[in-house]
Structure 1
Amino acid sequence: MPKTIKITSEDILQEIKLSCKIPEIIKQIITRKILGNYAAKAGIEIVNEELQKGADRIRLINKLISANDTWDWLEKHSLSLDDFEQIVYTNLIDEKLFQHLIAEKVEPYFFEHQLDYTGVVMYEILLNDEDLAVELYYAIKEGEMSFYDAAHQYIQDTELRRKCGYQEKVNRKGLKPEISAAVFAAKPPQLLKPIVAAKGVHLILVEEIIQPQLDDELRQKIASDLFSEWLKQESAEFEIVKHLDSNNPSANPQA
């Protein structure tokens, strides 16, 4: 006869505490409550046809082909059929609310902040010695050595050295102001004069300036950023009251 281990709701809550996941769970609960309250005030509703399509989509994502697959999945996650319907309903409400709040704001925001999304392809050597940086700058300018030779000689990080200091595509927000100003004023391909900043002296080769396009990827990023900012502002208006059991260590300074 197999041995039995009994797991209760209290056990699960305690494990969440011990895993230090309470803040993460609380954040999710706050988000769910705020979105639910706002959706109710905005009169956002879900019809049966939408519920069915939403359920089918979740089954497809989780590869639940048959009814047995669905029941096994529910059992694995300790979910009832009502819980499953609540998941579908909540997802649909969130999507509709997202469209209601954010969808029409993406393009205006993009055009207002278009400069922030301008990208640059560049190579960089970070040095600690300004005199050396100036020496290398003039050596490269005068054709005594290439930027890539300098990168192989003076970049310490192995992977970065193999890429000759290649920084991938970087946008304006990804650079410090003192570096960004010089980089985006360049006329590629251009080697910039050494820039002294907090981390050292930057010797930068600007290869290409990339004008932003509002493609699907950028549209999704802007929408996500706007939604996160809205949620942050909404959360700030609420006082969060937690009702956990008395075993919470934070309630006992002597613990």
Structure 2
Amino acid sequence: MNHQGQAIDFFGSSIDLTEIVNFLRKNMQLKEVCQKILYQKIIEQSAQETGLTVTPEEIQAEVEHLRRTKHLEKATDTFAWLAEQMLDVEDWEVGIRDRLLEQKLSQSLFGKEVEKFFTQNQLDFDQVLLYQLIVPYEKLCQELFYQISEQEISFYEAAHLYDIDENRRYHCGYEGKLYRWNLKPEIATVVFGARAGELIGPLPTDQGVHLLIVEEFIPAELNSTRYQDILDRMFTHWLECELNYLLHSYHHNENNSIR
């Protein structure tokens, strides 16, 4: 792959860099790319201010980890994969270095805040394993509630036959694991106050009239996946705020220079 000049060689075809920018612009992707570039500049500056660095040994360790993950056992396999990705070894290592630096900075800034955030917002991380059926009319919903309560029909059979949503009918009402914020507030209040196995409803909303069953309540736990998710969200929010401040300062200086 050729990085020199104003064009990129794509497997024998030359693509001008202006074409790439125009493609991103007309497909409304240029803003996102520019944001990510500015995010990287913010990360670089903040890491420098806090004295964070990534060592060659750390980069090499991550290279070996990625090779094992992608089953690139031989050097020739690695070079072939890099060619497919339009990368050379230097590009790859620079990208790895950037990601490791981002991880170090996010951990440095917010690693000690994650547990506190989780504790303060623990209710938001509780989950339910939920089944739901929605029908268009309250009279039908009340009739189904009666039939299910009297065991004339099972909840799952009723969902399969009557739910307004085709996908939910196919899955007999199965919604999966949901957080409190996945549900409408008026539904969440009732669902998280119910007992496992209890038939809930009828509950009218703008979607229709609901019947629900909680199969299992899943209390929030700060496992490694949730820790990383919270850390990523806090770091992303910080980056957005830093970028907004940067852009605001730029516009403020531009306006002052015009006066």
TM-score normalised per structure 2: 0.79
CA shift in 2, pair 1:36/1:61, >3 Å: farther
Alignment-derived partner of residue 163 in structure 1: 171
The whole-number CA distance in structure 1 between the counterparts of 2:123 and 2:106 is 25
Deviations 1:44-96 (A, max 9, x none): 12233223323434444555545555555555555555434422321221121
Root-mean-square deviation over aligned CA pairs: 2.8
Q: Which secondary structure state, in structure 1, belongs to the residue aligned with residue 247 of structure 2?
A: coil
CA distance in 2, matches of 1:168, 1:232: 32
Output the CA distance in 2 between the equivalents of 1:195 and 1:115: 22
Shift of the alpha carbon at 1:202?
Answer: 0.9
The alpha-carbon distance between structure 1 residues 158 and 117, as it changes in their structure 2 partners (threshold 3 A), is same
User: Residue in 2 aligned with 1:89?
Assistant: 97
The residue correspondences of 1:163-202 to structure 2 (distance < 5 A) are: 163-202=171-210
CA deviation vs aligned residue, 1:118-173 (integer Å, no higher than 9, x gap) = 11122211122122222322332234433233223311434422322111111111
* Structure 1 gaps, min length 5: 243-255
* Segments ≥4 residues shifted beyond 4 Å: 58-82
CA separation of 1:129 and 1:74: change in aligned 2, threshold 3 A? closer
Aligned equivalents of 1:157, 1:82: Cα separation in 2: 51
For 1:119 and 1:138, the matched residues in 2 are separated by: 28
| Aligned-partner Cα distance in 1 for 2:24–2:249 | 18
What are the superposed Cα offsets for residues 154-207 of structure 1, whole Å, 9 maximum, x if unpaired? 114344223221111111111110000000000121011311112121111222
Q: Does 1:230 align with 2:253?
A: no
Matched-pair contact (CA < 8 Å) for 2:135–2:164: no
Residue 15 of structure 1: how far off its partner (Å) = 3.8
Could you tell me which runs of 5 or more consecutive residues in structure 2 were left unpaired when the two chains were aligned. 1-11, 251-259
Equivalent residue, structure 1, for 2:255: none
Partner of 1:40: 48
Query: Which residue matches 1:218?
Result: 226
Contact 2:39 2:239 in 1 (8 A): yes
Partner in structure 2 of residue 239 of structure 1 = 247
Pair 1:113-2:132 in alignment = no
Choose from 67, 88, 101 the match for 2:109: 101
Q: In the aligned structure 2, how far is the partner of 1:210 from the partner of 1:145?
A: 27
Bigger CA drift: 34-43 or 206-215?
206-215
* 1: CA distance, partners of 2:130 / 2:87: 51
Number of aligned residue pairs: 239
Percent identity at matched positions?
34
| Deviations, residues 19-51 of structure 1 (Å, cap 9, x unaligned) | 443122112212211211111111112233223
- AA aligned to 1:114 is Q
Aligned amino acid, residue 150 of structure 1? A
Structure 1 contact 58–88 (Cα < 8 Å) conserved: no
Asked if structure 1 preserves the Cα contact closer than 8 Å seen for 2:106 and 2:232, the reply is no
Task: Give the structure-1-normalised TM-score.
Answer: 0.80
Residue in 2 that maps onto 1:13? 21
Q: 1:35 to 1:131 in 2, by over 3 A?
A: same
